[in-house]
Amino acid sequence: MSPELVTTLLQKTIQTAVYIMGPILITAMAIGLVVSIFQTVTSIQEQTLTFLPKVLGVFGVVLYIFPWAVRLLTDFTTELFGIMTSMNK
Protein backbone atom coordinates (compact mmCIF):
# COMPACT_ATOMS: atom_id res chain seq x y z
CA MET A 1 0.00 0.00 0.00
CA SER A 2 1.55 3.26 -1.10
CA PRO A 3 1.71 6.35 1.09
CA GLU A 4 -0.36 8.24 -1.47
CA LEU A 5 -3.17 5.69 -1.23
CA VAL A 6 -3.13 5.84 2.57
CA THR A 7 -3.23 9.63 2.48
CA THR A 8 -6.11 9.62 0.01
CA LEU A 9 -8.09 7.09 2.05
CA LEU A 10 -7.53 9.07 5.24
CA GLN A 11 -8.58 12.28 3.51
CA LYS A 12 -11.77 10.70 2.17
CA THR A 13 -12.56 9.18 5.57
CA ILE A 14 -12.22 12.52 7.35
CA GLN A 15 -14.14 14.29 4.60
CA THR A 16 -17.02 11.81 4.88
CA ALA A 17 -17.10 12.18 8.67
CA VAL A 18 -17.17 15.98 8.40
CA TYR A 19 -19.93 15.88 5.80
CA ILE A 20 -22.10 13.73 8.04
CA MET A 21 -21.36 15.43 11.38
CA GLY A 22 -21.33 19.00 10.05
CA PRO A 23 -25.09 19.58 9.89
CA ILE A 24 -25.57 17.95 13.29
CA LEU A 25 -22.92 20.08 14.99
CA ILE A 26 -24.09 23.27 13.31
CA THR A 27 -27.65 22.59 14.47
CA ALA A 28 -26.54 21.97 18.05
CA MET A 29 -24.44 25.16 18.06
CA ALA A 30 -27.22 27.27 16.56
CA ILE A 31 -29.80 26.00 19.05
CA GLY A 32 -27.34 26.56 21.89
CA LEU A 33 -26.75 30.13 20.73
CA VAL A 34 -30.48 30.88 20.48
CA VAL A 35 -31.17 29.40 23.91
CA SER A 36 -28.23 31.31 25.39
CA ILE A 37 -29.55 34.58 23.98
CA PHE A 38 -33.01 33.71 25.33
CA GLN A 39 -31.53 32.99 28.77
CA THR A 40 -29.61 36.25 28.75
CA VAL A 41 -32.62 38.32 27.74
CA THR A 42 -34.98 36.72 30.26
CA SER A 43 -32.38 36.29 33.05
CA ILE A 44 -33.27 32.61 33.37
CA GLN A 45 -30.05 30.82 34.20
CA GLU A 46 -31.30 27.24 34.26
CA GLN A 47 -28.59 24.89 32.95
CA THR A 48 -31.01 22.16 31.94
CA LEU A 49 -32.96 24.50 29.65
CA THR A 50 -30.58 23.93 26.75
CA PHE A 51 -30.76 20.15 26.88
CA LEU A 52 -34.22 19.40 25.49
CA PRO A 53 -34.13 21.83 22.53
CA LYS A 54 -30.72 20.53 21.49
CA VAL A 55 -31.82 16.90 21.73
CA LEU A 56 -34.97 17.54 19.72
CA GLY A 57 -33.11 19.64 17.14
CA VAL A 58 -30.30 17.15 16.67
CA PHE A 59 -32.79 14.26 16.50
CA GLY A 60 -34.77 16.12 13.83
CA VAL A 61 -31.65 16.83 11.77
CA VAL A 62 -30.49 13.22 12.07
CA LEU A 63 -33.86 12.02 10.81
CA TYR A 64 -33.79 14.56 7.98
CA ILE A 65 -30.26 13.76 6.76
CA PHE A 66 -30.40 10.01 7.43
CA PRO A 67 -31.10 8.92 3.81
CA TRP A 68 -28.37 11.19 2.50
CA ALA A 69 -25.90 10.01 5.15
CA VAL A 70 -26.60 6.35 4.43
CA ARG A 71 -26.12 6.95 0.70
CA LEU A 72 -22.85 8.79 1.39
CA LEU A 73 -21.57 6.01 3.64
CA THR A 74 -22.64 3.34 1.15
CA ASP A 75 -20.78 5.08 -1.67
CA PHE A 76 -17.70 5.48 0.54
CA THR A 77 -17.78 1.82 1.59
CA THR A 78 -18.26 0.62 -1.99
CA GLU A 79 -15.31 2.72 -3.11
CA LEU A 80 -13.22 1.42 -0.21
CA PHE A 81 -14.03 -2.22 -1.02
CA GLY A 82 -13.19 -1.53 -4.67
CA ILE A 83 -9.78 -0.22 -3.65
CA MET A 84 -9.22 -3.21 -1.37
CA THR A 85 -10.06 -5.74 -4.09
CA SER A 86 -7.77 -4.01 -6.57
CA MET A 87 -4.91 -4.24 -4.07
CA ASN A 88 -5.10 -8.08 -3.98
CA LYS A 89 -4.42 -8.38 -7.71
pLDDT of residue 24: 96
Collect all residues with Cβ–Cβ distance below 8 Å to 80 and sequence separation of at least 6: 9
Q: Give residue-wise pLDDT tens across range 30-68.
A: 999 999 999 889 888 887 888 899 999 999 999 999 999
Task: Let me know how long the chain is.
Answer: 89
Report the distance separating Cα 63 and Cα 61, nearest Å. 5
Q: Give residue-wise pLDDT tens across range 68-80.
A: 999 999 999 999 9
pLDDT of residue 89: 61
pTM above threshold 0.95: no
